Amino acid sequence: MKIRTGIGIDAHCFAEGRRLMLGGVEIEHPLGLAGHSDADVLTHAIADALLGAAGLEDIGHYFPDDDPGLKDISSLEIIRRVMELVRRRGCEVGNIDAVLVLEEPRIAPYRERIRSSLAGALEIPEADISVRATTTEMMGFTGRGEGIAACATCLVECAGSIIMEMDL
Ligand code: MG
C-alpha cells in the first residue's frame, strides 16, 4: 500500500445570471461563477487534487471546456467520474482538505451541507472531508470580489505500483 498526496487549485470569476454552486450546493448570492460547466470552483479543486494524487492528468484533460457534451455539467458528476478513474488506479481516498478563498458570501452556514454533498458524490465518509474558507483581507481578485478561488489537498492509499502504469 502506497500513500500519495495531491493538490488542486482553481479560480472562477463572478458572473450575472448564474447560480453559485460550491461543493454541489447552491449558495444564495446575487452572482454565480462563470464557466463551461456549473463552475463549481471547490469541486474542481478537489477533482484536480484527486487526479494528481492518483498520478493522472489535470481536470481539463478529462473534461475539456470546449466539449459541448460537458456544457453546464454538474461538477458532482465530474467528481464521480474522477473517483471512477482514481479507483481504477487502485486508489482509495484517505482524506480531503479544501479551502475556499473569497470575500463573500459566508460559507459557514453551508459548510455541513457542502461536506455532505461532496461525501455523497465521492462515496467517502463526511469525516474525511474538511471544507474551510478564508478571505484575502480585500487584496487581489478575491479581495475585490471579482471571483472565488479554491485550493484542495488530498491523501490517497494506492495498492501497488503496477496499477499506476495503466493508461487511463
Ligand atoms: Mg474550474
Q: How far is the CA of 10 from the centre of ligand 1 (A)?
A: 5
The residue extents of the domains of the chain are 2-158
Give the Å distance between the CA of 166 and the centre of ligand 1.
26
CATH superfamily assigned to domain 2-158: 2-C-methyl-D-erythritol 2,4-cyclodiphosphate synthase (3.30.1330.50)
Please write the tens of the pLDDT for every residue from 148-157.
999 999 999 9
Instruction: Provide the 3-class DSSP secondary structure of residue 87.
Output: helix
Give me the pLDDT at residue 58, please: 94
Q: What is the pLDDT of residue 162?
A: 47
Q: Cα of 162 to ligand 1 centre, how many Å?
A: 31
82-108 pLDDT per residue, tens: 999 999 999 999 999 999 999 999 999
* Percent of the chain scoring above 70 in pLDDT: 95
Q: For the chain, how big is the Rg over CA atoms in Å?
A: 16
Calculate how far, in angstroms, residue 12's C-alpha sits from the geometric centre of ligand 1. Answer: 6
The answer to whether residues 89 and 164 touch, using CB atoms and an 8 Å cutoff, is: yes
Q: In the prediction, which pLDDT does 70 show?
A: 82
What is the per-residue pLDDT across 16-50, written as a single tens digit (0 to 9) for each? Answer: 999 999 999 999 999 999 999 999 999 999 999 99
How many angstroms does the Cα of residue 39 sit away from the middle of ligand 1? 6
